[in-house]
Amino acid sequence: MNSSTGQDSSPVIRVVERLLPPHYAPQNQIIGALRDLWATRHFNIERLEELHRSVQVDGRFLALPIEQYPSLVTFQQRNDAWIQVATDLGEQVVRKALERTGLTPRDVDHVFFVTVTGIATPSIDTRLMNRLGMRLDMKRTPIFGLGCVAGAAGTARASDYLRAWKGQTALILAVELCSLTLQREDLSIPNIIASGLFGDGAACVVLQGAERGGAGPRIVATRSVLYPDTERVMGWDVVDSGFKVVLSAKVPQIVREFIRRDVDGFLAEHGLTRKDVKHWVAHTGGPKVLQAFEEALELAPDMLARSWASLREVGNLSSASVLFVLGDMLESGKAEPGDWGVMMAMGPGFCAELVLLRW
């Protein structure tokens, strides 16, 4: 459904703060850590390493030091580590985002928390209310299960809220610790690719309603699209040991088949075409997904340069990925008043989320 009102009611993105865990491992080190385990279970180690390298990731930041992962055997151990690290990273990235906008935790009216890599009740946003000293009447919307699309979807849902509450401030907090979901015993191709592609990180977006004003791009409209009968394209199977990845090779095919239709239709409702869009912010779904975006939308090679760079440097951070790219774009200073931009991400459902931006 399209959710758009006039430009005068469009919420503004004030800042996007990003944070990576302190533990970094080059891809070769990660492959080395997995090689001995693979050797006891698979006859073609070279093929597994080839799949690992094909995702074009140089290295990733990890929730824990790499030597601690073998001790995480059960789902409870992994999830307990997720709760601790997610709360710590969440606190740090929210504090940094608010400092950059000159706001305090008590200025926040609503937090939208998105993740797909761990579960907690009370949710992480509740724990942060206590740590940060937020108002007790602050609204919370924890969203689980949207995966890679959740950074864009969270932005869209927060903007929906701020169209009604034009004088308020909302945060989108995305924390993904993909390394803590790894199923080391699963030597399926989807899991091997995932173990080479996904990294850890957190992002926080500060959004304010139109009555608050402030510099930054405005969210003019949003569009959600579900592709029917695609539940097994991407997601989790919840098994005894935790989250087992579902990742179909059909993802790039779906991008090529549908994204141009959906983007063109979305833009046409606002009197725009792809030629009017100067800034494209795409989630780092992997090399084949980014290539599919470029081909389907007929984008010049440099249009998704920030997405390619983010993929290479930190991997796919699930819901935080598209927010990392958005943050890089905002800090580049390349956007000028009047420029149009499109933020887009795809994820479990299988689905897409589109956000129309205006500087």
Section 96-104 average pLDDT? 97
* Domain annotation covers residue 336: yes
Predicted confidence at residue 44, as pLDDT, reads: 64
Predicted confidence at residue 4, as pLDDT, reads: 41
Do 135 and 228 sit in the same domain of this protein? no
Do 173 and 252 sit in the same domain of this protein? no
Q: What is the pLDDT of residues 139-149, one digit of tens each?
A: 999 999 999 99
* Domain annotation covers residue 116: yes
Nearest of 176, 168, 103, 166 to residue 143 by alpha carbon:
176
For the chain, what is the mean pLDDT?
92
Q: Are 154 and 161 in contact (CB under 8 A)?
A: no
Q: What is the pLDDT of residues 23-32, one digit of tens each?
A: 999 988 888 8
* Domain annotation covers residue 7: no
CATH code of residue 348:
3.40.47.10
Banded pLDDT at 204 (limits 50, 70, 90): very high
Predicted confidence at residue 184, as pLDDT, reads: 78
Which region among 5-14, 130-139, 156-165, 182-191 has the lowest average model confidence (pLDDT)? 5-14
The rounded Cα 295 to chain-centroid distance in angstroms is 22
Section 151-176 average pLDDT? 97
Predicted confidence at residue 41, as pLDDT, reads: 63
Predicted confidence at residue 74, as pLDDT, reads: 93
- Asked if the model's pLDDT at residue 78 lies above 90, the reply is yes
Q: What is the pLDDT of residues 41-71, one digit of tens each?
A: 655 667 777 776 778 889 999 999 999 998 9
Q: Are 327 and 17 in contact (CB under 8 A)?
A: yes
Predicted confidence at residue 193, as pLDDT, reads: 85
Predicted confidence at residue 39, as pLDDT, reads: 66
Q: What is the gyration radius of the CA atoms in the chain, in angstroms? A: 20
Do 105 and 226 sit in the same domain of this protein? no
DSSP letter string, 302-328: TTTHHHHHHHHHH-B-GGGHHHHHHHH
The better pLDDT of the pair 192, 281 is held by 281
**Where is the domain boundary, 212, 241, 256?**
212
Q: pLDDT > 70: what percent of the chain?
A: 95
Do 287 and 244 sit in the same domain of this protein? yes
Predicted confidence at residue 273, as pLDDT, reads: 97
- Asked if the model's pLDDT at residue 300 lies above 70, the reply is yes
Q: Are 7 and 358 in contact (CB under 8 A)?
A: yes
Per the structure, the complete domain to which residue 335 belongs is given by 216-358
Banded pLDDT at 105 (limits 50, 70, 90): very high
Distance CA 212, CA 205 (A): 16
The better pLDDT of the pair 355, 39 is held by 355
Catalytic sites, residue numbers:
148
Banded pLDDT at 1 (limits 50, 70, 90): very low
Tokens of residue 266, six digits: 């979305």
**What distances in angstroms separate CA 170 from CA 6, 7, 155, 291, 327, one per listed residue?**
20, 19, 10, 33, 17
Distance CA 70, CA 23 (A): 16
Do 207 and 228 sit in the same domain of this protein? no
- Asked if the model's pLDDT at residue 117 lies above 90, the reply is yes
Section 340-348 average pLDDT? 97
DSSP letter string, 268-282: HTTT--GGGEEEEEE
Number of domains in the chain: 2
Distance CA 20, CA 197 (A): 16
Predicted confidence at residue 2, as pLDDT, reads: 42
DSSP state of 179: G
* Domain annotation covers residue 330: yes
Do 268 and 310 sit in the same domain of this protein? yes
Do 76 and 194 sit in the same domain of this protein? yes
**What distances in angstroms separate CA 247 from CA 197, 281, 289, one per listed residue?**
12, 22, 12
Section 109-122 average pLDDT? 97
Nearest of 118, 173, 111, 170 to residue 141 by alpha carbon:
111
* Domain annotation covers residue 5: no
Do 268 and 207 sit in the same domain of this protein? no
Do 189 and 239 sit in the same domain of this protein? no
**Where is the domain boundary, 154, 187, 212?**
212
- Backbone phi and psi for residue 313, each to the nearest 5 degrees, phi listed first: -85, -35
Predicted confidence at residue 42, as pLDDT, reads: 58
For the packed helices 45-53 and 189-197, what is the interaxial angle rounded to 10 degrees?
50
Predicted confidence at residue 40, as pLDDT, reads: 66
Predicted confidence at residue 196, as pLDDT, reads: 86
Predicted confidence at residue 236, as pLDDT, reads: 93
The better pLDDT of the pair 213, 294 is held by 294
Number of residues in the chain: 359
The better pLDDT of the pair 324, 28 is held by 324
* Domain annotation covers residue 108: yes
**Where is the domain boundary, 157, 181, 212?**
212
Distance CA 168, CA 213 (A): 10
